[in-house]
């Protein structure tokens, strides 16, 4: 049974609460005044005014650059880049300005900015609107990177990102916006709310450890169910935060089970899963395996798009290989 707010509504409500409690929190981006393309800003301009929910020109470099300047001047901007694919037009502002300011100026300047970048395959949206580029941002010193998988996590991590004193890249999956948490997920989130830098053990197990994040976590959970029907007891861990990622929780689990599978929607080659797998192998000596997308652009045709999806059956197959 599904319950509560959708992924988009939960984020909107968390943002509204932050704006109500702190007048320094502002929003800027394309179409935010009309609610955003996924409805994640619906009603906010009417409530807080056009001076705090600011529609911008179609220029990602301008949006990100303005956000950096506002943050340095004392605001807490939430910068909307529509989809992660468009963030490529703002990489200088993100990489060389937001991420490095605190270090280069000895802490005199801080950039408490949240950069919202929807990631992942977006059905029938093809190669330029379906990328998962989280590894790019996790690679950059100075950035915090979050990637929530559920509505509850989206709300909790977004609110913490707004309160942070450093730039946070907040990655929301394009195909999760309309989804609601099921009762089990909602209960788990209530018992252990998402926290930046802390993983959550979604399912306890003894035979192998599966690690995932964002939408791929939901398919990893389905894969764990398939494996359970075969007598395989998989432990499933949701990262939620890719940097700093929760090494202790993952490494403790991998040491106990002796096997680690990392699965993500992003291209497997040089994906963030490689960092998790290598770290676990170095620290624990466990066997490792990855399940990610092939190194191909996401196709527009449904058959081509399907080739880039890493579905539960593929995750379960990778787990069986690991168990051999």
Structure tokens at 228: 């359970």
CA distance 45 to 27: 9
Q: Tell me if the bond preceding 77 is cis, omega within 30° of 0.
A: no
Which is the catalytic residue, given 129, 170, 173, 264?
129
- Is 129 catalytic? The answer is yes
Q: How many CB atoms lie within 10 A of CB 74?
A: 9
Range list of H helices, 110-246: 134-138, 151-163, 183-191, 216-229
**Cα–Cα nearest to 43, from 56, 53, 51:** 53
Q: Is 280 helix (H, G, I), strand (E, B) or coil?
A: helix
Distances 266 to 40, 169, 290, 307 between C-alpha atoms, Å? 23, 16, 11, 12
Residues 6 or more apart whose Cβ sits within 8 Å of residue 297: 126, 127
Beta bridge partners of 77: 26
Q: Is 168 helix (H, G, I), strand (E, B) or coil?
A: strand
CA distance 22 to 29: 19
Going across the sheet that includes 25-29, the strands are 53-55, 25-29, 76-80, 114-116, 168-170, 144-146, 241-243
> Using DSSP, how many helices (H) and how many strands (E) does the chain show?
13, 14
Q: Is 169 helix (H, G, I), strand (E, B) or coil?
A: strand
Which is the catalytic residue, given 60, 134, 175, 305?
60
Phi-psi map region of 156: left, alpha, beta (phi>0 left; psi -120 to 50 alpha): alpha
CB 261 within 8 A of CB 289: yes
CB 200 within 8 A of CB 188: yes
| Residues annotated as catalytic (active site), given as ranges | 60, 129
């Amino acid at each position: 049974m599904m319950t509560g707010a959708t992924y988009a509504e939960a984020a909107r409500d968390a943002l509204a609460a932050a704006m109500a409690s702190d007048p320094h929190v502002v929003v800027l981006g394309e179409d935010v005044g009309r609610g955003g393309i996924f409805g994640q800003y619906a009603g906010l301009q009417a409530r807080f005014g056009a001076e705090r929910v600011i529609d911008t020109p179609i220029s990602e470099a301008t949006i990100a650059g303005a956000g950096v300047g506002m943050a340095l001047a004392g605001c807490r901007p939430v910068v909307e880049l529509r989809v992660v694919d468009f963030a490529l037009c703002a990489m200088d502002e993100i990489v060389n300005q937001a991420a490095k300011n605190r270090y280069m100026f000895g802490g005199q300047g801080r950039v408490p900015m949240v950069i919202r970048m929807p990631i992942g395959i977006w059905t029938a949206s093809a190669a330029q609107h379906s990328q998962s580029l989280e590894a790019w941002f996790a690679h950059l010193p100075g950035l915090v990177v979050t990637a929530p998988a559920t509505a509850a996590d989206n709300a909790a991590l977004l609110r913490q990102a707004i309160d942070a004193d450093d730039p946070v890249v907040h990655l929301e999956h394009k195909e999760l916006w309309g989804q609601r948490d099921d009762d089990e997920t909602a209960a788990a989130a209530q018992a252990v709310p998402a926290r930046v830098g802390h993983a959550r053990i979604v399912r306890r197990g003894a035979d192998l450890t599966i690690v995932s994040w964002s939408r791929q976590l939901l398919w990893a959970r389905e894969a764990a169910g398939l494996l359970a029907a075969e007598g395989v007891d998989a432990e499933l861990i949701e990262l939620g935060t890719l940097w700093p990622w929760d090494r202790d929780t993952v490494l403790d689990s991998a040491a106990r089970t002796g096997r680690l599978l990392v699965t993500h929607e992003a291209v497997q080659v040089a994906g963030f899963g490689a960092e998790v797998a290598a770290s676990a192998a170095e620290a624990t000596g466990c066997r490792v395996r990855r399940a990610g997308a092939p190194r191909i652009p996401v196709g527009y045709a449904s058959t081509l798009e399907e080739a880039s999806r890493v579905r539960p059956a593929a995750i379960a197959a990778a787990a069986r290989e690991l168990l051999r």
